[in-house]
Amino acid sequence: MAGQAGESAFQHALQCNHKWADDTHANDPDFFPTCAKGQAPKILWLGCSDSRAPETTILGMKPGDIFTHRNIANIISPTDLSLLSVVEFSVFHLKVQHIVVCGHTSCGGVAGSLANGKLGGPLDIWLQPMRALREKHAAQLDKMEQGEKMTALSKMNVSAGVDVLRRIPTVIDAMRERGLEVHGAIYNLGSGKLEQVDCGEQDDAAKNRETAFERR
């Protein structure tokens, strides 16, 4: 939102950036020089592009703390080269210790997947994995009210994303060799709180997954 009459949103954003940079430098003169030397984030955040769910802000952290990839409805696809590149770089090169797949309440992508209208362009194709989840869990979802249904499908999508990540060879190697952890979470827009999504699996299922997908 523009700050003064006649000022564009972008101009306002630039002014806010300069103020933030000046205030940050005044409070911590070493912050920007340290950032410029490199990064060592402990967390890879795979979230939704929604403007209301910026990972660094909602986690109360700073630039340099979180490595990030965001897309519409935080869909984790095994054929998404952009996402796979982010995972490879952060896991293999930066050695992140945690991967977080985070959805959120009142997600437009979830709402679109629960409706039957045409969204247009690539959106209908992009949301196909979530529509497939809707189809798979139709009996369960049909018993719910709309708000509950949206949250449930969002959690299902997070769990499915974690499942995809656990089948990426680089992730399998890091989980086995150095204890990389993969987590699911939902961000509640109404409260600002994160809720962990249970994405656990049985030991025999984990062993079968590793056997089928690990590299040798």
Average pLDDT by stretches of 10, the chain with 216 residues: 73 97 98 97 98 97 98 97 98 98 97 94 96 97 96 98 96 95 98 95 83 79
The 3-class secondary structure across 145-207, one letter per residue, is CHHHHHHHHHHHHHHHHHHHHCCCHHHHHHHHHHCCEEEEEEECCCCCCEEEECCCCCHHHHH
CA diameter of the chain: 63
Q: In the chain, where are the structural domains located?
A: 1-38, 39-213
User: Based on C-alpha coordinates, what's the Rg of the chain?
Assistant: 19
pLDDT of residue 210: 82
Q: Which residues are catalytic?
A: 48, 50, 52, 104, 107
pLDDT of residue 197: 97
List alpha helices for the chain, DSSP H.
9-27, 31-37, 55-58, 81-88, 108-114, 123-126, 128-136, 138-141, 146-165, 169-178, 203-213
Q: Is 16 annotated as belonging to a binding site? A: no
pLDDT of residue 7: 84
pLDDT of residue 5: 66
pLDDT of residue 178: 97
pLDDT of residue 186: 98
Q: Is 35 annotated as belonging to a binding site? A: no
Domain 39-213 has CATH 3.40.1050.10: yes
pLDDT of residue 163: 96
Q: Is 50 annotated as belonging to a binding site? A: yes
pLDDT of residue 4: 65
